[in-house]
Amino acid sequence: METGLRNYLVVTGGYWAFTITDGAIRMLVVLYFHLLGYSPFQVAMLFLFYEFFGIVTNLVGGWLGARIGLNRTMHIGMGLQVVALSALAVPDPWLSVPYVMAAQALSGIAKDLNKMSAKASVKTMVSEGSSSKLFRWVAMLTGSKNALKGFGFFAGAALLEWLGFRGALTVLAGMLVVVLVITALLLPSGLGKMKSKPKFTQVFSRISAINWLSAARFFLFGSRDVWFVVGLPVFLYEVLSWSFTEVGGFMAIWVIGYGIVQAFAPRLIRQSHHGKGPGGDTARNWAFTLAIFPAVIAFGLEYGWPADSVVTLGLILFGVVFAINSAIHSYLILAYSDHEKVAMNVGFYYMANAGGRLTGTLLSGLIYQSYGLQGCLWWSVGFVLIAALISTGLPTVKFPSENTVTSDS
């Protein structure tokens, strides 16, 4: 087996394991603290530091990965996640809002260190000019990760019913420790490490394509989380009277399907033939298409269509198109970056991603509490349209010459 493929599989396996714990802890916190009597906005506030420190982590993490190696930043992330899981496994009287927010801050740092490290490392494993292979590998990594995050949602909800809150956290922490040790032994040192020590000011991208893409990413992921993070699970539990396992199972199936679509995005959009990947025009067109679906769901709820059918079918269709949007973005950030600075460019890009998630998460709780799920969906439409308009500034990627970008006509 070639070295690049071997390292890719090891990184993917570690990313899978981490992702299961990330999905599980999110579902555990949403459901358990709603059960304890927290309002939707209070539940959303529990994720404030999770998302905020994701912004900081991506900015610093890309620079750190370029200095010490992406393998080390990935393992630091795993270690912090074990600490976060353990910190929540305390008696209920300890679980004040500030305490849980602090534990979630550790989890947010861990998640973004792990994600940045895994995705940036793919660029180092693919030779220059192999745009088709790069698109396939990053789509498979991201898609499989999201499928496993769906399993994490189900695992979190199921473990909450079977083992209770603290028992679930203990099982997840133990699993991640084992994976951390295995990947630390298998991955080479210095993966993605720059030959020269980069200055911190270099994390801010000077490439306009990356800045436009990062801005579009902010609104794209804000459009999902503004209704998906708090509004949707609380709506399913409170309004539709679903059980914890039903809520977790449905969201798990959705994320798994979303991940499968993302993994096969190169085939679905049919632009990876002859060494070509998607360009800026592809991102723009798919973003405009995405805006249709939350609008239709909102109309359906407002006009009294059967809520179960409208939400489930609408969410499935939204997930398919959102997955393609996300896969295109994940490819473009690597295609716009060169091998030497990929860690810092990816870190900057996912800083914007974390900012969108933070904004969407807070709005999800606040808007749902005031205007219900329909209000969250209309905000989603607005965010998607802004992402689509920003995407008009994205250039094409010209291969096989080394990471040359040209403006769309």
Predicted local distance difference test score (pLDDT) of residue 150: 74
Distance of alpha carbon 369 from alpha carbon 23, whole angstroms: 23
Which overall architecture, per CATH, does domain 3-192+202-406 show? Up-down Bundle (1.20)
Structure tokens at 298: 């909102």
- C-alpha distance from residue 378 to each of 53, 263, 279, 299, 366 (Å): 27, 28, 28, 9, 14
List the chain pLDDT tens, one digit each, 409 residues: 456 567 677 777 788 888 888 888 888 888 888 788 877 777 777 777 877 787 777 777 666 766 677 778 888 888 999 999 999 888 888 888 788 888 888 888 888 788 777 767 666 665 555 556 666 767 777 677 767 777 887 888 888 888 888 888 999 999 899 988 888 887 766 555 555 555 555 555 566 788 888 899 999 999 999 988 788 888 888 888 888 778 877 887 887 887 788 777 777 676 544 446 677 788 889 999 999 999 999 999 988 899 989 999 998 999 899 989 988 888 888 777 765 566 667 777 778 888 898 899 888 888 988 888 999 999 999 999 999 999 887 777 654 444 444 333 2
Predicted local distance difference test score (pLDDT) of residue 199: 57
* CA-atom Rg of the chain in angstroms: 20
Show the DSSP H helices in 126-279 as ranges.
131-162, 164-186, 208-228, 231-238, 244-263, 265-269
Predicted local distance difference test score (pLDDT) of residue 389: 94
Look-up of token digits 């769309």? 408
Q: Is the CB of residue 11 less than 8 Å from the CB of residue 19?
A: no
Question: If we measure between CA atoms, which residue out of 47, 59, 92, 85 comes closest to residue 350?
Answer: 59
Instruction: With H, G, I as helix, E, B as strand and everything else as coil, classify residue 102.
Output: helix
Stated pTM of the model: 0.68
